[in-house]
Amino acid sequence: MKIRRAQETDLSRIAEIFIFNNRIFYFPIFKDESYSFGELQVVPLAERKLRRPDVMRQLFVADSGIRKGFMQVDGTELCKLYVDPFFQSEGTGGRLLDYAVTEFHADHLWALEKNTRAVSFYERHGFVLTGEKKYEDGTTEFLVKLTRSEKDEGKIEKSH
């Protein structure tokens, strides 16, 4: 599997992966039908939010002939990491995360507090909860901050 910078031809697939994950993992928490099944659509997401040059520079895909996942990295912050639910538990997320740490020295991220599966995933990969929380914009749900110390970076082998 190759981790590579996203191209415009990847945007609809990235949007699809994001939407699948939102509907499966976030809808049960937020229960916002108008957002998850109305506002959140592949074409508008790809065109209005992902196609921006500042976002395009931050997007990377896990590509094995099929784009199985993606991440967005801004400086040393891992902003997004999603794997298509059909391909989860195959190591794709770990490969993306390892790439973010080794190539960009990613050392922090915010995860939805109630998304315990994601929080556990990051903890298994060397991130720790800091105790810092903030509200997810426009909601009553909390995001929690996870960080990774520089000493932990040496434990990750390059996976590309």
Q: How many CB atoms within 10 Å of residue 44? A: 11
pLDDT band at 150 (very low <50, low <70, confident <90, very high): low
pLDDT band at 149 (very low <50, low <70, confident <90, very high): confident
pLDDT, position 152: 54
pLDDT band at 156 (very low <50, low <70, confident <90, very high): very low
Contact 120, 130 (CB under 8 A): no
pLDDT single digits (tens) 98-144: 999 999 999 999 999 999 999 999 999 999 999 999 999 888 999 99
pLDDT, position 138: 84
pLDDT single digits (tens) 11-65: 999 999 999 999 999 999 999 999 999 999 999 899 988 989 999 999 999 999 9
pLDDT, position 116: 94
Look-up of token digits 């998304």: 115
Question: Which of 48-57, 78-87, 91-100 has the lowest average pLDDT?
Answer: 48-57
Q: Cα–Cα distances in Å, from 127 out to 105, 106, 123, 151? A: 13, 10, 5, 12
